[in-house]
Structure 1
Amino acid sequence: MLKKLLHKIRPFFCELIKLPNIGIIFFIIFIVYMWGFYFWKEAELGSLSWWLDELGHAIGGFFFTIVLLYLIRTYFAGGFFRIGGKKTLRFLVISVMVTLAFIWEVLEFLWDQWGHPSFPWIAKAQEGQVDTMVDWMITVGFSFMAMFVDWFYERRSRRLHPDVYEDEEIKEVCDSIHNLSESILKEQRSLRKKKIRETFRPLKTRIDRFYSEHCDEKDLEHRG
């Protein structure tokens, strides 16, 4: 059992120890430590501490957008994104970042309402509506900025290395064809099974009816 479990999780750890993923983990730890502990303090709007907090939102919005793009392209860019294209991918990442920024502000609100009264020695997370909206807008704004940087870098790289992108586009087309063929085959198997069931359904009904009538006659004879 343990051997099977280790065999299943081994690919995960093999990917985890790759240099980009290690860098992502350490950067997340750095952000959590700096803005989750070191810089977390109550600050008035416009003060240095407040601007440091906004810097954390800016770095988070920019960095996590790049991370999402990297992770999806590396591990999850399957048939849906191949068919939908890069616009679909970017729209998804922006949608996720907008949602995460909203959830983060909701968590800060919940902390101030229920967490802070129980632990008053820990600083509040929000300084009012202005602080909340500025946090959200900076996070989302820098997320869009990261998306623009990614788009600009890809466009520039495409001009400098057209052969590489042509190979990638060919691979994308091949992957799309493969995924579509798999979907078609899966649908055909499903239809074939359904057709077989429908073909044998009348026969099964007759057998069940015959068996039921035969059993009823035997029961009557046995009782008689």
Structure 2
Amino acid sequence: MRVLVGGGTGFIGTALTQLLKARGHEVTLVSRQPGPGRITWDELATSGLPSCDAAVNLAGANILNPLRRWNEAFQKEVLSSRLETTQMLAKAITKAPQPPQAWILVTGVAYYQPSLTAEYDEDSPGGDFDFFSNLVTKWEAAARLPGDSTRQVVVRSGILTHALEANHVQGVLNGVAPASTTTNAAFAQALGAALGRPAFLPLPSIAVQAVYGPERAIMLLEGQKVIPRRTLAVGYQYSFPELEAALKEVVA
């Protein structure tokens, strides 16, 4: 298929692009910056949708950018960066002589389990795993976030690919792992085990709140239990449904 990916130069978008190409699909990115295999958002608005069989939108400002204060201006940017890109793609699809057969939108503002992946701004570099693994190497400890009730899970680009390739997939899919969600303390222990390091270095809540502010800190200190019931029902098979196996694979 010919797949158009908005925000495809971010962390999740890069993984999705690599997977799509490995499966024989042709990928065109929509990005702020021009380049090989890309079109810009301005070009999309002026020239319309390039010929494609499917379109995906992953674009959006990084809500957990520690360099940005959580004020009204940044809150509007977080929202508008998602709404405006989606509206631009939807308008281009509506006007296209041959619209794509599949249209996938990654909605919501979420933060995924630390050390595996995170929501990243378009054109930004990799995920949290480098940060956490470097911290572990330096201190010989697996850093963990406070709050044993935290339940955060992993988004997998494979779910997006499955939704694109399977004609019967419609509606909302939760992009999370099927195993029971875990606390950050348990996550830190599993990460420490995978790295061969003890997990004894807690990160105080006050430090998280100082960097991100009370409202954004909630995303790291608290969470929701999400079950991918429909994702499993449509036939998606997880490569690493369990946390321990996933961490060992990432570390390896």
TM-score after normalising by structure 1: 0.26
Which structure shows the bigger proportion of residues in strand conformation? 2
Higher helix content, 1 or 2: 1
* Structure of higher RCO (CA pairs closer than 8 Å, 6+ residues apart): 1
Q: Please, what TM-score do these two structures have when normalized by structure 2? A: 0.24
